[in-house]
Amino acid sequence: MSRLPRLYAEAEQALAPGSARSLVRVSGGSRATALPVRGQAVEARSALMAMLSSWSALVADERRVAAPDREIREMVAFLRRHLEWLARHAALGELLAELAESVALARRCVQPGQSRQVSVGSCREPECTGNLVAHMRSGGAGPASEIRCDTDPAHRWAPHEWHAFIPRAACPV
């Protein structure tokens, strides 16, 4: 979660004119001005802001504490301060799914086509001897991310199910 402010800033940089841009016309008195807008970058920043605002509001409401200002760094710091509480919350799976989705969207606009693989451990399915690998893609075909067994392709988990692989005390929110 500590990388979200940087990712948000990188998405802002992706708003600058580039080869994959679209133009939006804005009236300004007697003439129109073209503003370069990369739709995916706008959507990514909006998704990050909405996700952090929503979860900050939930924490503030349920813990009866003051909510942070609607600024990326402040909301990230606020959620990190309440990390242990969030790790025990019934909606942890939803939080992790929204976080993964928002981050994947932002990464697709700032790092198109990049991917990473991380070993997770032994397959959780009974009697399977395979190993699990988290495939995290920021662009291209197929799902953005998933955990898959290297022996049986039917053994797979989507990002919203990943919390089952994370010890509660080590939750990376």
Among 20-24, 123-127, 143-147, 162-166, where is mean pLDDT lowest?
20-24
Q: Is 107 within 8 Å of 100 (Cβ atoms)?
A: no
Average pLDDT in the 150-155 region? 86
Compare 168 and 99 and report the one with higher pLDDT: 99
Q: Which amino acid is at 122?
A: S
Q: So what's the pLDDT on residue 169?
A: 44
Q: So what's the pLDDT on residue 62?
A: 96
What DSSP string runs through 128-146? ---EEEEEEESSSSS-SEE
Domain count, the chain: 1
* pLDDT one-digit tens code per residue, 10-66: 887 777 655 343 333 344 444 444 334 467 778 888 889 999 999 999 999 999 999
Cα separation, 60 vs 54, in Å, equals: 10
Q: So what's the pLDDT on residue 137?
A: 62
- Can you give the residue range of the structural domain that contains 119? 4-170
Q: What angle do CA 160, 38, 14 make, to 5 degrees?
A: 80
The answer on pLDDT for 106 being more than 70 is yes
Query: Which uninterrupted H or E stretch holds 24?
Result: strand 22-28
pTM, 2 dp: 0.56
Cα separation, 62 vs 154, in Å, equals: 39
Six-digit token pair at 86? Answer: 């969030």
